[in-house]
A and B are shown apart, each in its own frame.
Chain A
Amino acid sequence: MKAALATTVAAVALLAGMAAAQGPTERVTPGTGDDVPTLLVPHAPSSKNFPCSKCHRHVKPNPEKRALDLAHTSISLRHAEAQRWCLDCHEGDRLRLPNGELVDYERSYVLCGQCHGTVFRDWKVGIHGTRTGAWNGEQYYRVCVSCHDAHQPRFKPIAPKPAPIRPADLGRGFRE
């Protein structure tokens, strides 16, 4: 009996020691169920088509994978479009996770994180994406769709700001 107790204590101590030796764990924002940042800059949904039930209360979705030509024609899917189509992620007024669970649009990052786990992990601790606010206090995070168009997430090239003036041209107007 005493030997069994001693072994259990020793085993628990060993496990605790191993856990402690894992190194710094990911930052956990207190007060939430999961370890997602609390201060999020929300992304406004597109008011035109939201909520989906506005139209789809009366129109039953057609589950056959196809190119849409009657509505939603402005959306061009370039996001794993060979493997998925609209109804793999959208269901009713919510988003659909790969395991069938549904999440609200406010928590769209959960859906992104299902496939982009490494980026999700980086985003949660603040090294993916931009934050504003205080580096030592309240930091405001942006949800994925604030920067990435969910249907075409790859950033389009933008025009750069002007190049610096070359040193040979710097003095024009000051020389005699």
Chain B
Amino acid sequence: MKLIVLAPEDDNHTAPIKWALEKAGHRVVCWAGLSYTEDCQASLLINQDDTVVLGGHSVDPGDVIWVRRPELPEPNPKVSEADKKFAALEYRSFYHSLAYFLETLPVWCINRYSAARVMIQKAVQMRLARQCGLKTPSTLMSNHPATVREFFARENARTICKGFTPHVWQKEGQMSVAITETFELTADQLPSDEVLTYAPAIYQERVPKDFDIRMVLMGNQIYSYALKNTKQALDWRQDAGLGHVTAELVPTPPDVEKGVLEFARQSGLCFGSLDFGVDAQGQWWFLEINEQGQFLWIDQFNRDARLLEKFCAFVTSPQGSTLPLETRQDLFPSLAEYEELLKNEQVAPVGRPRPDDPFLSLEA
């Protein structure tokens, strides 16, 4: 068995996990995604023995495929201008063939591409979460001004606004930035109807939360961390980076655990990072799940979390194992050890430049 990671080797989660698994004697290979370069070429042969080869690595029965963050397909730039559109579509179609085909093979995909594609949709998440018994805030997704205003006219209700995707605006020639963030909005603050059609948005009942929870799902295991934000900000993400957040392991209420495991079963996801808000009555409100969300940062905030070791134990366990990951986490080195090597330049740096970031815009 080997682990095939669909991500560049220098992805900030792939690199330390690959290092930890290899140190424990496991075989790990990476495929960054479909591209014209030799290490990103792929083949799919359908005959009596179906075979898939990703960048020279054959996909074999029993392999584990971690669909971490493959890059977008990249056609050969030397192709004729007249053929560029066709080539791009062919690359995209072939990539989809590969991604969907993998989950038909006798391998374990974390997560299955089809499940990930559906569950990345926030509307689907909210509905399924509610159906699984999780408490969800009233939510409107719309670009229809009258409906938006009607939603804001609810009695005794506060409303927040957030985007479907994160985005950053950087002022040209400057290093200061503006980052999308959840923010509270009142009916009086709504802009003109015209502006409401510029981009659809998510309008949501404001959860009167005392604190946030970041939960990590690994198979049948759930780990919940209370994020206490000294700034009491509505959105903790930037405050986490600024060091204003603590992460403390807390027990997951049994009804929430039951709901999350049912959510996982119905969605087909076996791995993901979930966000909850906890109100003054101790009720947990489901906010969202990112099926390949960042999770190693919790190890940096709470050294007892040992999520790197738990993830290594998870991907090297049999699919569907119910054995607590804690029983095998000691087989793997820690993130702190990796960080020390990184600091001393004993492992390769992570994060190479990308030619184009779809989440970043320059503004005047």
Tell me, yes or no, whether A binds B: no
Could you tell me which B residues sit within 8 Å of A by CB distance? none
Q: Using CB atoms and an 8 Å cutoff, list the residues of chain A in contact with chain B.
A: none
